[in-house]
Structures are given as C-alpha cells and as structure tokens.
Structure 1
Amino acid sequence: VVLAANDLPSINDVTYTELIEIIAKLKDENGKLLGVDTSNLLIANSGNDLPVIDLTRVSQELSYLASDTDLVVLEGMGRGLETNLYAQFKCDSLKIAMVKHQEVAQFLGGRLYDCVIKYDEFLDYQHIRQSN
C-alpha cells in the first residue's frame, strides 16, 4: 500500500510531513502498525501542490512505487472528480468523492453533496486481442 500526499498544504489536505507523523502515531512500541498485519505501507510525496492531482507530474518516487500496483484509489473532489474522473490506468481504479460545487453537480447530473464512487476495471485489450 502506498499513501501519497502533497508536500505543501492545500486547503484542508494532509501534507506529506503530516502523513508521516500520523502514521508514526499508529505504531506500537515495537514499531509495528496497530491493526495492520504487514509492514508493506509506504508513504510517498505526490509531487503536486494543489487540491487536484496532475497525473503527468507525479513525483518519481510515487511513479516508481505505484508502477506495479493492482489498484489506484483517488480520494476527494479535486483528485477523484474534477481532474481524473475519466482517467484510465494500467490497473483497476476507484474514485471516491463528495460533490461540493454546484457546477460539478450539474455536470454530473447530480446534486450538491452527493457522494460519487466510480470503479473502473482495467481491461488489457492488447492481451485480449493476442489471446483470440
């Protein structure tokens, strides 16, 4: 699991430094995360400094850590709806957000404060064509 956060503060988002501090507080006296069976939790700087995320400008660290992931989760209106609702990945993806602007609600055909959950399954068309 890779958690990514911005280096600089943006609206009410957790920063990279704050995320490190939060995760550190979740560890027991042996340095193990409470309630987590594995130590495969990594924290990366997103490489962005806005409430949206420009996927063409993520940090090299995040790009490397996420290169063989099975699922990408984008959380928040800026990251999950406004900039990446239709983004396609080389893995499954989940976009989760609450609509907080009337213009976005109108665009989506919904209402203000509706919750949006969009799951996109990765379809490897190249692999499908080769096997047919």
Structure 2
Amino acid sequence: MKIQIISVGKLSGELSQIADKYKKMIGWQIRTTELQHSKKPSPAEIKEDEAKQIGAKITNGSYIVVLDLVGKQISSEGFSTVFAKQMMLGKSIDFIIGGAFGLDEIILKTANIKLCLSEMTFPHQLVKVILLEQIYRAQTILDNHPYHK
C-alpha cells in the first residue's frame, strides 16, 4: 500500500519528531509532501493558489481523501476499512490537508471521500500527526494487533 499525505505547511520541532516516529512504525509505504503557504492577498486567491499546488502533487489514479470540516466523521474501525478496500483494489491513497483558509472547491470535488477528524479546528501540523497515528491504528486493526485495544 502506498500512501501520500499532501499538506500545506511544514512540520517542525517536536511534532516533526512524533510524525517521524509514526512513519517508521507504519508498515505501508508513506510519503509526505509539504507545500508552501500561499502569499496571495485574499483568502479566495490563497485557496486557489494552494489548490494548484495540491493538484500538481496528487498521484494519478489514487483514492483521494480530503480532510475538511464538512467531511464525514468515522470511527477508527471505519477508517481501517478505507485501507482494506483500497488494498483489495490495488490503489494508493492520497490524503490532503489544506491551509488556514481550508481547501478550494476544485480540490473538494476531486475527493473520493471527505473526512473530518473532529468538529474542533486544529492546526495543520497537529492534524498531520493525528492522521499518522490513525493510519498506524488502522494498520494495527487490520493486522489484529493489540495496539487498538
């Protein structure tokens, strides 16, 4: 299974170390693509500029999971079924994490599924760490490993 996490902004400090820890624990091939925050003057232009950057990094033919407040909330077990289904189909998965103003409609429309990690708003750096932990948890659920218990 190949996984790419495309995010606007870079991890730094302790959160970067925690993310690296999870990436090492995950048995699937995982790649992170960190994009620059747009410096355009308006939120609409920022979202459009970031959408162009994101669109250029999406893996052709991948299953696209967008993390967004308008997305569906699912359990960790439900999240693991996303991986199980895509593994059966032989597809890679691209996760997309937007910047401070969210994602442009063009990116939201490309999503196979929109997920919301919480109704609360988190900084993108923390979202990436939470996502990595949930990917690891999904893997352990599929492997019947006791981590999830």
- TM-score, normalization by structure 1: 0.39
User: Comparing both structures, which one devotes a greater share of its residues to helix?
Assistant: 2
Q: Greater relative contact order (Cα 8 A, min sep 6): structure 1 or 2?
A: 2
- TM-score, normalization by structure 2: 0.36
